[in-house]
Structure 1
Amino acid sequence: MLWVAALMLAAANFIAVLNMTIANVAVPGIAGGLGAAASQGTWVITSYAVGEAITVPLTGWLAARFGSVRVFVASMILFGIFSILCGISNSLGLLVVARVFQGLCGGPLMPLSQTLLMRIFPKEKAGAAIGLWSMTTLVAPVVGPILGGWLVDDYTWNWVFLINAPIAIGFGLYAWKLLKRYTDVPVRNPFDVVGLILLVIWVAALQLVLDEGKNLDWFASNQIVALSIVAVIGFAAFLIWELHEKHPVVDLRVFRHRGFNAAVLTITVAYAAFFGVSVLTPLWLQSFMSYTATDAGLATAWTGVTALVVAPLVASSKRDPRLLVFFGVLWMGLVTLWRTIANTDMAFWDIAIPLAVMGFALPFFFIPTTAIALGSVEEREMDSAAGLMNFLRTLAGAAATSIVTTVWANQTTRNHAELVGVVDQDRSVRTMMEHGGMTPDAINQAIDYLITTQSGMLSTNQVMTGIAVMFIVAASIIWLAPKPTRTIEPGAGGH
């Protein structure tokens, strides 16, 4: 029964993380199906991200107020209900509202599935269970675009959302039966209304900046400038209020632990780099290598396959977790450096093999880093710590997506401009094409296609270089954490 519970809790985390990316490839189909512009369709992604970003850091307060098990079960069932509402929406407005509520319900699933696993598993088996949970966090963003592309191509966009419902509602109902004996006594602390309002304001503003910045040309847009000012002022006011509030809605005092800070900073930087790779690879494959969404997904899926093979070994390791993290994140950086020599003549396995090799390193990064972070705080702070850790990781993924896609597009344009001035200066290629019977227009189109493809390839390699540096920096940060003096005990995450 323990492993049934582990599978159920891991599945809860999986669907929450999956829904961050599953709709990305479905946006054109959704916009077309609901009679909206493609630019409006991106609100389907933004609305979920905003809802999720608001409730993830609230997890600690919600768990204390209502009980971890009650919040988890309610979130699962409501997630399924709002997934159905998303799937049957007949207008973009209704879909966006349903996605906000789906995100609000999905937020607590990530940290609570993690802390409940640690609570119900005995000490000797907790590592393997957390390993399973960790892999869902890393595999779900990769699976999302594959699954979304397949559902849109072979069925309709509605199934992108409806597929969540039986898992969320079924597991939610079963979770109560399985976990109700672990229900904790709620703590009726006063409700921090001001803290909640400030949290909603700055998180929503920041998420909108990250999601819409690229579409609106960043700070050339008055809207982005205004949202950025709101986010900065709101964040400053939130920090001041929460640090002085007796019963804060988000317990920022967990940052007094050096081990937690170092582990969370490592997770944030390394996950941003990993998410950057996960976003950039299928984008490059589909834009410049003529891959379909499904084929691009199959190439990137090898990262998850190899990660699952190694995870049990890492989870049971007795070595200093800082050494495991350093080794894993450095490995990811070196593999990313390997990928900076990619070219447009690469076959499927030339692309898939480096991704599979990177997958071996993922468990070394994620499993011990999580253990260091949660092992550094007091047991009563576990839910708050998990919520904040997942919040910063989610925010890092959103920031990485915006920054990587923007830099990649700008660098591609810059490379194109430079290559136009140096390609075929002796006109030998043009002469060869003319002798082959091609018209001047066809020759121009062919040369421009070659330049565009190589510009994209160069840009991909350049961005990969920057991401590799991020991995190496992240690997070094973990040594700021003191050597762990305790392991995570069963029952952790309680109050």
Structure 2
Amino acid sequence: MSANVAAAQTKPLEGGALWLAALMLAAANFLVVLDTTIANVSVPNIAGGLAVSSSQGTYVITSYAVAEAIIVPLTGWLAARFGTVRLFVVSMLLFGLFSVLCGFANSIELLVLFRVLQGLAGGPLMPMSQTLLQQIFPKEKAGAAIGLWSMTTLVAPIMGPILGGYLCDQVGWSWIFFINAPLAITCSYFGWQMLKRFEGKLIKLPVDAVGLALLIAWVASLQLMLDEGKNLDWFSSPEIVALAIIAVIGFAAFMIWEMTASNPIVNLRVFRHRGYWASVLTISLAFGSFFGATVLTPQWLQSYMGYTATQAGYATAMSGILAVIAAPIAAQMSTKMDPRPLVFFGVMWLGGVTLFRSFGTSDMGFWQVALPLLFQGLGMPFFFVPLTGLAMASVETEEMASAAGLMSFLRTLSGAFATSLVTTSWEDKASYNRAELSGFVDATGQALQSLTQSGMSTETARGMIDQLVQSQSIMLSTNQIFWLSGLSFVIAACAIWLAPRPTKVADTGNVH
């Protein structure tokens, strides 16, 4: 990186060119973050369009997240081997190409394949956009550059559900992918034209091929097991048993290999720092809880509450409004005080709001759904910003890049795992609740008799009672998932106190 920095210092961008480059890099980051949330509200439309179940539709989310998580540990090696600017430009072009292929996919298998490739292309873009921003900006303006980058990271999750909902309702789900192409082409063209002179000397570093293969094997096996478990009746299926065995053996082999390899793809030695592993435990539990609930909300609203994709998008996006407002305050406070109370407050706030949401009813109006999500956003920056700083302050300076990559990998992976667990549990609990309620609803037959006496046919009356039972079963199941997510937040909040009080403040400029 020193060669890149030197190049940036000898030929700096100035004035309009500097800010145009900054906007281009911020737009690239915006695009990648947008794609993590734009599909959330689109799952029912995609599932309907491809004639698959909603749980299968969530593969669109989990496949992208897992692929993105797997490529993150390779970003440093790819940047050194091919160059930061080349990696950024090629990743941007491939991201646009695979986005278009996602839009043209006519089966769930093809769509998942192209989402995996899209995730592999998009994974390096977040850290590369941030690295390049730091290279092109003079030190006195670095704060403004990172502020611009951070704002896109916060605004994109707000825009994702709104844009996804609008496009699904107005033109079709394919357009949530097609819209990436023009911006990807523009960013890659201007990125190369403006930034190619900042390319540094290439370094041929060895890659941990065995570690990478073991990583892919256990992560993919575990994710497939979670995704397919319900459809195949879990461990009564030989396929699920085989996937479980591969995941367990692969994980054990991966741990042993990475602890003994001279050039590991994932530096597990950073877990010797108590502050780091406590921070990673907190962020994995909290982000998994948050992402799982975020994926569930639009599915529930569209499938059982009568919301359009646009309405569900507006409701889901509410959580980002106060997050954007509170972010500068959280960043300022995290540099002046012990970050642990801030993290505890942020995560406990998220847990409290999620527990409040577990008392929902099937006749709630839009604002009864949206207001808790609006207030939930207040806790997000107090959870994420100081927690990142605490984790990086806990490791040695030379370990920061490895620690940041590993934390990003586990955060993204926890979101993918939580999505599978939540959607599977939601349907399982709904089936169980339906069986329980069926034994209590109209046991004497009085309701059926009353409806038939009012003029309804027996078949219509039974259909109405059945619909009521199904609606309440789903509502109970949704509340139960929110309750479990809330408890997970509470556990995550308590976990931060396992970390010691930090003795230094980390420079998190290189953290993604």
TM-score by length of structure 1 reads 0.88
Does 2:172 align with 1:168?
A: no
Whole-angstrom CA distance in 2 between matches of 1:43 and 1:476: 32
| Superimposed CA distance per residue, residues 156-186 of structure 1 (whole angstroms, 9 cap, x where no aligned partner) | 4432222112222322343455656765544
Aligned 8 A contact 1:110 1:390 in 2: no
Residue 277 of structure 1: aligned partner: 293
Q: 1:314 to 1:490 in 2, by over 3 A?
A: closer
Q: Secondary structure at the match of 2:406?
A: helix
- State the distance in 2 between where 1:330 and 1:174 align: 43
Q: Matches of 1:200 and 1:125 in 2, distance apart?
A: 40
In 1: Cα distance, 2:308 partner to 2:48 partner: 19
* 3-state SS of 2:73 partner: coil
1:78 aligns with 2:69: no
* Cα drift, residue 270 of structure 1: 0.4
1:121 to 1:333, Cα distance in 2 relative to 1, 3 A: farther
Instruction: Tell me if 1:102 matches 2:102.
Output: no
- Partner of 1:392 in structure 2? 410
What's 2:363 paired with? Answer: 345
Q: Select the residue among 476, 496, 502 that pairs with 1:458.
A: 476
% identical aligned pairs: 61
Q: How does 1:219-238 map to 2 (within 5 A)?
A: 219-238=235-254
Residue equivalent to 2:441: 423
8 Å Cα contact 1:63/1:383 also seen in 2: no
Deviations 1:267-308, CA, capped at 9 Å, x for gaps: 110001111220222222122211122211111111112211
Kept after mapping to 1: 8 A contact 2:127/2:511: no
**Stretch deviating more after TM superposition (333-342 or 173-182):** 173-182
**Which range is displaced more, 81-90 or 131-140?**
131-140
Number of residue pairs aligned between Structure 1 and Structure 2: 492
Q: 1:298 aligns with which of 290, 314, 325?
A: 314
Paired letter, 2:68: E
Aligned positions of 1:147-158 closer than 5 A: 147-158=163-174
Q: Give the superposed CA RMSD.
A: 3.2
Matched ranges for 1:100-179 at <5 A: 100-114=116-130, 133=149, 140=156, 143-176=159-192
Instruction: Tell me how far apart the structure 1 counterparts of residues 278 and 491 of structure 2 sit (CA, whole Å).
Output: 12
Corresponding residue for 2:210?
194
Distance 1:103 1:80 in 2: 11
2:342, 2:382 within 8 Å by CA — same for their partners in 1? Answer: yes
Counterpart AA for 1:267:
I
| CA–CA distance in structure 1, aligned partners of residues 86 and 262 of structure 2 | 25
Q: Does 1:410 align with 2:428?
A: yes
Aligned to 1:478: 496
Which residue in the other structure is 1:256 paired with? 272
Q: Residue deviations 1:178-216, cap 9 Å, x none? A: 656765544433232222222222222223223333433
- Say if 1:108 and 1:387, in contact at 8 Å, map to a contact too: no
Residue 359 of structure 1 and its aligned partner are, at CA, apart by 0.8
**Counterparts of 1:134 and 1:365 in 2: how far apart (Å)?**
15
Is 1:240 aligned to 2:256, yes or no?
yes
Contact 1:134/1:367 (8 A) holds in 2: no
Residues 5-16 of structure 1: pairs in structure 2 closer than 5 A? 7-16=23-32
Distance in 2 of aligned mates of 1:344 and 1:441: 24
Q: 1: distance between equivalents of 2:42 and 2:123?
A: 22
Residue 52 of structure 1 is matched in structure 2 by 68
Alpha-carbon distance in structure 1 between the residues aligned to 2:275 and 2:138 = 23
Greater displacement, 178-187 / 266-275? 178-187
Q: Distance in 2 between matches of 1:474 and 1:116?
A: 33
**1:142: Cα distance to partner?**
6.0
Per-residue CA deviation, residues 345-378 of structure 1 (Å, 9 max, x unaligned), is 2111111111101011111111111222233334
* In structure 2, distance between residues paired with 1:334 and 1:53: 29
User: 2:339 pairs with 321, 346, 353, which one?
Assistant: 321
Per the alignment, do residues 67 and 54 of structure 1 end up closer, same or farther by CA in structure 2, a change over 3 Å counting? same
Q: Deviation at 1:474? A: 0.7
2:12 aligns with: none
Displacement of 1:10 after TM fit? Answer: 4.4
Moved more, 457-466 or 171-180: 171-180
For residue 343 of structure 1, what is the amino acid of its counterpart? T
Deviations 1:22-45 (A, max 9, x none): 346656766887xx6536877655
Distance 1:485 1:198 in 2: 36
Q: Distance in 1 between matches of 2:21 and 2:390?
A: 23
Call closer, same or farther: CA 1:45–1:405 in 2, change over 3 Å.
closer
Structure 1 position 205 matched with structure 2 position 221 = yes
Quote how far apart the aligned CAs of 1:421 are.
Answer: 1.6
* In structure 2, C-alpha distance between the alignment counterparts of 1:274 and 1:229, rounded to whole Å: 29
Distance 1:362 1:235, change over 3 A: same
Residue 3 of structure 2 corresponds to which residue in structure 1? Answer: none
Q: Distance in 2 between matches of 1:395 and 1:376?
A: 22
Task: Supply the distance in 2 between the matched residues of 1:459 and 1:163 (Cα, whole angstroms).
Answer: 35
Partner amino acid for 1:51? A
Secondary structure (helix, strand or coil) at the match of 2:358 reads helix
Range that drifts further, 344-353 or 74-83? 74-83
Task: Give the Cα–Cα distance (whole angstroms) in 2 for the partners of residues 27 and 350 of structure 1.
Answer: 23
Asked if residue 444 in structure 1 is aligned to residue 443 in structure 2, the reply is no
Deviation of 1:151 after TM superposition, in Å, equals 2.2
Question: Structure 1 17/219 Cα, relative in aligned 2: closer, same or farther at 3 Å?
Answer: farther
Matched-pair contact (CA < 8 Å) for 2:72–2:405: yes
Residue 334 of structure 1: which of 352, 373, 376 is its match?
352
Deviates more, 1:169-178 or 1:135-144: 135-144
Q: Which residue of 2 aligns with 1:361?
A: 379
TM-score (norm 2): 0.85
Instruction: Note the alpha carbon deviations across 1:303-360, whole angstroms, 9 max, x for none.
Output: 1122112112212222322111111111111111211221122111111111101011
Superposed CA deviations along residues 37-94 of structure 1, whole A, max 9, x for unmatched, are 5368776555534432321222233334444444333322321233234445677776
Aligned mates of 2:353, 2:149 — CA distance in 1: 24
| 2:221–2:247 Cα contact (<8 Å) kept | yes
Q: Is the 8 A contact 1:50 1:208 kept in 2?
A: no
